[in-house]
Every structure is written in structure tokens, then in C-alpha cells.
Amino acid sequence: MLLGRMNAFSRIAVCGLISQYNSEPYPMKNIGSVLINRIKMQGFIVSEHLPRWPVALKELSAEIAAGRIKYRESVAHGLRKAPEAFIGLLKGQNFGKQVVKLI
């Protein structure tokens, strides 16, 4: 994370640290930027916000359809690639959602 590039009063949402499950934690560099730029960093758990999911899904779907939100996903082709894809997911080698395409 490039804390030195964060704007004043910016926010960092932290969700999904699966790549950290079997490794050393990431060291934070330039931690002084959190103080200088008054950065707020807060974790959240998606399951704590399930009542908001239907509205969020509708709004996000519209934004994706309009091209205002773009996403990336890693696709492994075939069931034989599933173990490799799962291990890569745990190592943080995927982009966005990891998908195994069976057809």
C-alpha cells in the first residue's frame, strides 16, 4: 500500500485478507502518512451488512452495466486447474474473484 500517495482525510477500507492466512503480515511503510494526512483505516466484514445487500446489488449492477464500475477476475479453465487456482488464491496471486470455469 502506498500510504505516501493517499489524499488528506482519505479512507482505506480493509476487507478480505485471504492471502495473509499462511504468510507473514505485510509491513506498513511510511506510516507517518496516516498521521500527516489524517487517513482513516477501518476493517469491515461483509456479513455484518447483509440487510443492505439487495439495494447494493441493484445499484452496483446498474453501475457495472453502465460501464462506470469495472472489475477484474482470474479465470482458471477446467477442473484440473482448480487446485492450482485455490493455492494461488491463498497466496494472493489472483486478481479480484477467482473463478474456475468448467465449460
**Quick check: helix, strand or coil at residue 83?**
helix
- With a pLDDT cut of 90, the percent of the chain lying above it is 59
The identity of residue 55, as a single letter, is V
Q: Is the pTM of this model over 0.75?
A: no
Give dist(CA 19, CA 95) in Å, integer.
Answer: 12
Cell of 26: 505485510
Cell of 98: 477467482
The model's pLDDT over 15-64, given as tens digits with 9 standing for 90+, comes to: 877 767 777 777 778 889 999 999 999 998 888 999 999 999 999 999 99
Please answer whether residues 4 and 33 qualify as being in contact, where contact means their C-beta atoms are separated by less than 8 angstroms. yes
Check whether 1 has a pLDDT greater than 70.
no
pLDDT score for 19? 66
- How would CATH label the architecture of 1-68? 3-Layer(aba) Sandwich (3.40)
Domain chopping of the chain, boundaries = 1-68, 71-103
